[in-house]
Structure 1
């Protein structure tokens, strides 16, 4: 595994950019895919958003200042691309974000790439009722087992605010599941 500083230097150098970018993609594509997939829910949409994410990373690597870890920066791009995708999809279809999220969950049951059980579908329906930030924090903490400090870097939010968001998300999910 190449050190992050060396990889960043290679990404910024025209002579080594292509090879370094291939390493970057191979190293992070799976984790980023699952992060995106938990937001957009559909496999094909997640692939599209992942591709857009890597295009943005490639085009903007020169501007990466190193204020955060490279992965946190990429995660932030993936998160923003995912949320933008949902907003654009809801505008195109002329329905609210909430209605779109409900349809996305309903489509999960027909998605051949979704291997979840009935309880996973219920959990996704509960997550669809959460505000975007609570959903993001829950996904990062619960599914990806990220530490609050890492989530703080990605979402540029204080650890205290993240703990509150996670706690609220868990309570709302519990309430939703008990009511069902």
Structure 2
């Protein structure tokens, strides 16, 4: 697929006669990456699919508020992260999950055949990630899997660079401990 510049997408979106085409291009360009981000956080395909759709609906409704002080992907990514964290929090409250019950349910999902692509090491890492608080899991994902800089992470999460570095450090230590105990 040909990558289209954010400015070109925004020009299309801002004209009433090309708004829908511009938004369709925006979705085609970023949907897969946004889905992957969400899927790593929620694990379950159906939830990730719904959250991806909600993310783009929210982006569509609020495009007029996009200030262009960040890239479109960063802005949509921030929406996706906020939607996902809200979803996870609501899910815990709605089903009265204790943290341990929720983790146990997700671990059993990881063990189901076909739930995740990959080998045993990836499954162990996925389980180790479940032991982290959501914020640390997000920071680890952004740094390790998305290869974002701390500056990019600060822009996406609205968190200071120092706090992000501390969260990442704690996440790595917890993951190491979890993998060693396996």
TM norm structure 2: 0.91
After TM superposition, give the deviation of residue 144 of structure 1 in Å: 1.5
Q: 1:17 to 1:37 in 2, by over 3 A?
A: same
Give the alignment's Cα RMSD to 1 decimal.
1.6
Q: What is the total number of aligned residue pairs between the two structures?
A: 180
Contact 1:141 1:147 in 2 (8 A): yes
Contact 1:86 1:97 in 2 (8 A): no
Secondary structure, counterpart of 2:62 in structure 1: helix
Aligned partners of 2:61, 2:55: CA distance in 1, in Å? 10
Aligned partners of 1:92, 1:2: CA distance in 2, in Å? 41
Partner of 2:162: 160
Q: 1:57 to 1:175 in 2, by over 3 A?
A: same
Partner of 1:60: 62
Aligned partners of 2:107, 2:85: CA distance in 1, in Å? 16
Partner of 1:38: 40
1:8 and 2:41 aligned: no
Partner of 2:172: 170
Q: 1:82 to 1:98 in 2, by over 3 A?
A: farther
Secondary structure, counterpart of 2:64 in structure 1: helix
Q: Deviations over 1:112-135 (max 9, x none)?
A: 241132222221221111121111
Contact 2:110 2:127 in 1 (8 A): no
Contact 2:13 2:22 in 1 (8 A): yes
1:151 to 150, 153, 164: 153
Unaligned runs of 5+ in 2: none
Whose RCO is larger (CA < 8 A, sep 6+)? 1
Q: 1:179 to 1:74 in 2, by over 3 A?
A: same
1:99 to 101, 125, 131: 101
After TM superposition, give the deviation of residue 32 of structure 1 in Å: 0.6
Contact 1:105 1:125 in 2 (8 A): yes
Contact 1:32 1:78 in 2 (8 A): yes
1:71 to 58, 73, 97: 73
Aligned partners of 1:173, 1:55: CA distance in 2, in Å? 34
Secondary structure, counterpart of 1:67 in structure 2: coil
